[in-house]
């Protein structure tokens, strides 16, 4: 079953329900995880904006993305991750969340990706302006660029109340050793890295260490940049997926990720409401246990 076919199957049910942020243990609400440094809870499925929100806001596209954002909030979503490197995404998010009046319901995350203290400040000021806000929930040093310099500024801004949380990101597995060193030597609140059934390197040492050190983790590229859907194209979802309330391949991939207790939130990007609804179901109901997760890895690896 393809993602499109799966969406059609569940669409009627999913579209008719509203799933608020969870009361833990409720099978009809999105699961949440605690941010270790504060105790604040976040829903386990967020929304990425790479490509999906780097668009010209024509009337048609505006309507489509407003529907995605409105539905995201209705379904209990909070975390929206963006970046200055994502073209127009910050501006689009700022404009649409402002017009919809949903800013206070969201947890906005973005990044700084430049060298030098002043350049970093100017980049973050620009993000505030584009988001149409005076405070960003999470600011992350992207790809560890001038990370020590930028983390100093991030801590200053956190003390001033201009950002709520600090973090670092990277999208290459080759950087995991550097990330591990930073986790051991620097203080920050969030880590964002690639983690999926196709990119599992982080679970060897970085994810356990992040959990030990009380760092929240955002899983980027949960579908392996779409490659996971290519692997399962035209293949039926295994019957045993129902054992953890899974009804589509998207849910299969997402439930595998968020079943790892080190993961705080996964951020699949989409500009389509039907895919959003499918993705959110990945954070609802039962999750696979350790034995089932190994079975999922074996199955996908065999394709």
Say what the pLDDT of residue 37 is: 97
- Per-residue HEC secondary structure of the chain comes to CCHHHHHHHHHHHHHHCCCCECCCCCCCCECEEECCCCCCEEECECEECCCCCCCCCCHHHHHHHHHHHHHHHHCCCCEEECCCCCCCHHHHHHHHHHHHCCHHHCEEEEEECCCCHHHHHHHHHHHHHHHCCCCEEEEEEHHHCCHHHHHHHHHHHHHHCCEEEEEEECCCHHHHHHHHHHHHHCCCCEEEEECCCCCCHHHCCHHHHHHHCCCEEEEECCCHHHHHHHHCCCCCCCHHHHHHCCCCHHHHHHHHHHCCCCCCEECCECCCHHHHHHHHHCCECCCCCHHHHHHHHHHHHCC
Q: Write out pLDDT tens, residues 208-252.
A: 999 999 999 999 999 998 899 999 999 999 999 999 999 999 999
Say what the pLDDT of residue 18 is: 31
Say what the pLDDT of residue 225 is: 86
Q: Using an 8 Å Cβ cutoff, are 261 and 211 in contact?
A: yes
Say what the pLDDT of residue 20 is: 35
* Residue-range definition of the domain harbouring residue 253: 3-301
Percent of the chain residues past pLDDT 90, beyond the cut = 88
Total-model pTM: 0.90
Say what the pLDDT of residue 28 is: 76
> What residue ranges of the chain have pLDDT lower than 50?
1-26
Residue 130 maps to which CATH number? 3.20.20.100
Q: Write out pLDDT tens, residues 51-94.
A: 999 999 999 999 999 999 999 999 999 999 999 999 899 999 99
The tally of domains found in the chain comes to 1
Q: Which residue has the tokens 């960003």?
A: 136
């Amino acid at each position: 079953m393809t993602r499109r076919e799966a969406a059609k199957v569940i669409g009627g049910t999913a579209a008719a329900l509203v799933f608020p942020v969870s009361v833990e243990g409720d099978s009809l609400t999105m699961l949440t995880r605690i941010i270790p440094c504060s105790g604040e809870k976040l829903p386990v499925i967020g929304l990425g904006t790479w490509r999906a929100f780097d668009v010209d806001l024509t009337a048609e596209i505006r309507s489509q993305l407003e529907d995605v954002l409105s539905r995201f909030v209705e379904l209990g979503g909070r975390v929206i991750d963006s970046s200055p490197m994502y073209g127009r995404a910050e501006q689009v998010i700022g404009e649409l969340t402002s017009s919809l009046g949903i800013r206070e319901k969201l947890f906005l995350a973005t990044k700084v990706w430049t060298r030098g203290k002043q350049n970093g400040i100017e980049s973050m000021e620009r993000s505030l302006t584009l988001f149409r806000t005076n405070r960003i929930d999470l600011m992350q040093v992207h790809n560890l660029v001038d990370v020590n310099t930028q983390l100093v500024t991030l801590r200053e801004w956190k003390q001033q109340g201009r950002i709520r949380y600090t973090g670092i990101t990277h999208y290459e597995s080759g950087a995991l050793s550097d990330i591990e060193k930073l986790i051991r030597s620097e203080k920050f609140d969030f880590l964002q890295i690639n983690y999926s059934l196709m990119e599992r390197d982080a679970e060897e040492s970085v994810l356990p260490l992040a959990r030990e050190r009380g760092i929240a983790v955002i899983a980027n590229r949960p579908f392996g940049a779409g490659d996971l859907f290519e692997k399962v194209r035209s293949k039926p979802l295994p019957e045993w997926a129902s054992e953890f309330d899974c009804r589509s391949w998207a849910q299969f991939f997402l439930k595998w990720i968020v079943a790892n207790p080190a993961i705080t939130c996964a951020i699949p990007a989409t500009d389509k409401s039907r895919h959003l609804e499918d993705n959110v179901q990945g954070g609802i109901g039962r999750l696979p246990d350790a034995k089932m997760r190994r079975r999922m890895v074996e199955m996908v690896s065999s394709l």
